[in-house]
A and B are shown apart, each in its own frame.
Chain A
Amino acid sequence: MIASIDTCFIIDWSKYRKRHLLEKIFDYVFTTEEVLNEVSSENTLEYVLNLMIKGFLVIYPFKTELSPIVRKALEISVSDPRIPSLDPPEAYALAIAYKENCICLTENKGVLRLVEYYNEFKKVKVWRSLELFKYLYSKGLIEDFEKELENYSRDTGHVFPKKRFS
């Protein structure tokens, strides 16, 4: 399985005590310079360096092919008031997932809404950390789902409230 990864996701995941689990799920993960430009702390740099040395984190080699997809996604996001406007890191993560039919690891609301509302982007599978934890649990890579969400919350400052909307 392959994924593209957004900036916030990799930064948050680098803080998680069981960050090695990402490598148990995916064969490799694509990223772009736009994402790496936002990495600056020692902890995240050390994590990114490690993943690059292993060949797990790969800079997407066909970036020029993404331009039409990125442009389309950005145009939609600035013109549709239901969608928070996208910025380059998440737009590229989305475009890679679209092009490569892989999973997009992001928690960006703009990406989630774009995929939800626009048929042409519906084929993109977007995973937030919640979906990643569900998958880890389904594969037996974590034993206690709720405890792991608590650990992740403690390590990264996330909260996972339950709420139903109509």
Chain B
Amino acid sequence: MSREFLPEDEFERSIRRKYADWNFIEKQPTKIKMALKLFIETGDSYKAAKLAGLTIDEFEEIRIKAKIPKVIVREN
């Protein structure tokens, strides 16, 4: 069963895409690159870290270098 994406998910994804350093991402080894793209699409650090074969801590360091933000939407 495919996941249902809500407007909030789409909004968060658009922000991750916008701020990401795509030059940095494209220069990474394949597994890291795919993991960063997975994070951009889903916001899920655990799955991204496991795809890259890393701990979440290791993945977080790379996420910050790739300038991909964690998005926390505030209600107006």
Contacts and interface: CB of A to CB of B under 8 A. Distances in A.
A157 B47 contact: no
Interface residues of B, number: 36
B66 to A, nearest CB: 9
A165 interface: yes
9 closest residue pairs by CB, A with B: A38-B56, A81-B4, A159-B69, A87-B46, A40-B55, A40-B57, A157-B64, A158-B70, A41-B57
- Main DSSP-derived SS at the A contact region: loop
Contact of B76 (A38, A109, A164): A164
A162 interface: yes
Contacts of A39: 55-57
A22 interface: no
Interface of B: 1-4, 6-9, 11, 15, 19, 42-47, 49, 55-58, 60-61, 63-64, 67-76
A12 B57 CA distance: 9
A83 to B, nearest CB: 8
Q: Which of the listed residues B49, B58, B60, B61 has the most CB atoms from chain A within 10 Å of its own CB?
A: B60
Interface in A27-63: 37-41, 44
Contacts of A161: 11, 15, 71, 73-74
Given A38-B55, A40-B57, A87-B46, A163 B70 contact: no
Interface residues of A, number: 35
A166 B3 CA distance: 20
Interface string A122-157: 000000111000000000000000000000010011
Contacts of B9: 109
